[in-house]
Amino acid sequence: MKKRIAILGSTGSIGTQALQVIQAHPDYFEVELLTAQHNAALLIEQAIAFQPNAVVITNEDKYAQVKEALAPHPVKVFAGEAALASSVQMESIDLVLTALVGYSGLTPTLRAIEAGKTIALANKETLVVAGELVTALAKAKGVNIYPVDSEHSAIFQCLVGEFHNPIEKIILTASGGPFRGKKRDELLYVTKAQALKHPNWTMGAKVTIDSASLMNKGLEVIEAKWLFGLRPDQVEVIVHPQSIVHSLIQFQDSSIKAQLGLPDMRLPIQFAMTYPQRLTADFPRFDFAQYPALTFEKPDTETFRNLALAFEALHRGGNMPCVLNAANEMAVDAFLKDKVGFLAMSDVVEQCLAKMDYVASPRYDDYVETDRETRIKALELIH
């Protein structure tokens, strides 16, 4: 039986690479559902190529365009956020790859878990915003969440065969982004074009900016806490410019395991979709001779304050990681629109964390309200 896949965010960086993996293994996978927010043209192209059962375009203004283009094909077409949330519960879906960007991934991921679907999680913000809620629901429903982020995939791969052994700590590696080694006065006037030039990875604009500011690593710290059931003091970050060692685990006997490979998101995507199997792949192979030196250094959290702010939100708990995420999404959007400077993004996040009401044990409605109120506050700070 082929594994039937739903890809939420199929037109983005992770979604398009997931389709490459599926295309390479036609006997193993079948596309059941594809969704996109705005990119109707690419969604149509993907639907014609892969012939899924259904597609969802969440921007309802694009519905007519998609519907008309796919009329000659046996593909159901739906539109809107509600359609996205309900479509993931289709009985014909085996695994849901959540590759949406930001807060938008929370509700459909929860709906998929409620329906008992296996989750391949590329949307780290789902666990940042509501990690306690998501992991509790997954446990109650007996749903496995397999990480797609390269760092969390590395931790997961290192844990295979070690699930009975307690983790002393995990070490997430960070490339350091395009501004590694620079100080605050050098970052005052950097442009979005400079920030979007990541040295090692090809990613969407939001994730690339987060990587440049180290917020991406901060979000990954929070995600790791929930994925692997850790305390905040069990998660460390180290800068590794070559991006070959994707992350490491230290066990209580002092032994360290690491997962290595060239920077290629198709590997963690494929591993999440095929676990516990490893399918043959034609991905480029790592050659030690090409990398005579692998280096590591401490992150500069004084210059790149977002990482420190993420740790602060994690330690405070409750709805503070939700505040962190919402403020950051607004700040990054403003930076990409040339409304705030690179360093000012951290100011927006820091002030939101200081000013928003703390909720110790949030429920779903509390997360929704926290996200809404934080975005209003962040907008005030930006303008």
Q: Do residue 118 and residue 182 come from a single domain?
A: no
Residue 116 confidence (pLDDT)? 98
Dist CA 254 CA 248 (whole Å): 12
Of 147, 175, 198, the last residue of a domain is 147
Q: Specify the CATH number for the domain of residue 136.
A: 3.40.50.720
56-64 average pLDDT score: 98
- 310 pLDDT exceeds 90? yes
E strand intervals along 219-345: 235-239, 245-251, 256-260
Domain that holds residue 34: 3-147
Tell which phi-psi region holds residue 254, choosing left (phi > 0), alpha (psi between -120 and 50) or beta: left
CB 47 within 8 A of CB 70: yes
CB atoms within 10 A of CB 32: 22
CB 248 within 8 A of CB 258: yes
270 within a domain of the structure (yes/no): no
Structure tokens at 138: 């997954």
Q: Would you say 343 and 212 are in contact if contact means Cβ atoms under 8 Å apart?
A: no
Domain boundary among 127, 147, 167: 147
pLDDT in tens, 255-301: 999 999 999 999 999 999 999 999 999 999 999 999 999 999 999 99
Residue 279 lies in a domain: no
33 plus 108 within the same structural domain: yes
Report the pLDDT value the prediction gives residue 202, as an integer from 0 to 100.
72
Sign of CA pseudo-dihedral 334, 340, 344, 350: negative
66 and 188 fall within a common domain: no
| Strands 118-121 vs 167-174: parallel, antiparallel or unpaired | unpaired
The model carries a pTM of: 0.95
**Nearest 10 degrees: Cα torsion 317, 331, 268, 87:** 90
Residue 365: CATH number of its domain: 1.10.1740.10
Give the mean model confidence (pLDDT) for residues 8-31.
97
**Statement to judge: residues 295 and 178 lie in one domain:** yes
Q: CB under 8 Å to 365, separation ≥6 — which residues?
A: none
Q: How much is the pLDDT for 102?
A: 86
pLDDT of the residue at 251: 97
User: 310 in a domain, yes or no?
Assistant: no
Residue-level pLDDT at 198: 81
Residue 69: predicted pLDDT: 98
- Residue 16 located in a structural domain: yes
CB atoms within 10 A of CB 369: 16
Q: How many distinct structural domains can be found in the chain? A: 3
**Residue 349 pLDDT:** 98
pLDDT reading at 379 higher than 80? yes
DSSP string, 25-62: -TTTEEEEEEEESS-HHHHHHHHHHH--SEEEESSGGG
Task: For residues 349-363, give the mean pLDDT.
Answer: 97
* Residues 88 and 178 placed together within one structural domain of the fold: no
Count how many residues are written for the chain: 383
Each residue's pLDDT tens digit, 3-12: 999 999 999 9
Angle in degrees, 0-180, between the axes of helices 266-274 and 13-24, rounded to the nearest 10 = 60
376 in any annotated domain: yes
- Are residues 175 and 53 both part of a single domain? no
Query: What is the reported pLDDT for 199?
Result: 78
Among 100, 121, 147, the domain-final residue is 147
Q: Tell me, yes or no, whether 21 and 66 share the same domain.
A: yes
Residue 290: its pLDDT value, please? 95
Q: Which two tokens stand for residue 111?
A: 């709906």
* pLDDT for position 66: 98
Averaged over 213-237, what is the pLDDT?
Answer: 97
Q: What is the pLDDT of residue 178?
A: 92
Question: What distances in angstroms separate CA 343 from CA 218, 346, 352, one per listed residue?
Answer: 16, 6, 15
**Would you state the pLDDT for residue 378?**
98
Are 128 and 164 part of one and the same domain?
no
Indicate whether 125 belongs to any domain: yes
Tokens of 21: 């993996």
pLDDT at residue 48 is higher than 80: yes
Whether residues 24 and 113 fall in one domain: yes
Give the integer Cα–Cα distance in Å for 275 and 253. Answer: 27
Is pLDDT of 200 > 90? no
pLDDT greater than 90 at residue 383: no
Question: Is 280 within the bounds of a domain?
Answer: no
Mean pLDDT of the chain: 96
Would 272 be classed as within a structural domain?
A: no
Sign of the alpha-carbon torsion through 93, 98, 104, 106: positive
Q: Do 156 and 295 fall into the same domain?
A: yes
Pair (27, 121) in one structural domain? yes
Strands (E), 83-130: 95-98, 118-121
Same domain as 68, residue 139: yes
Q: Could you tell me where the beta strands, DSSP code E, fall in 218-313?
A: 235-239, 245-251, 256-260
142-170 tens-digit pLDDT? 999 999 999 999 999 999 999 899 999 99
- On the question of pLDDT at 32 being above 90, the answer is yes
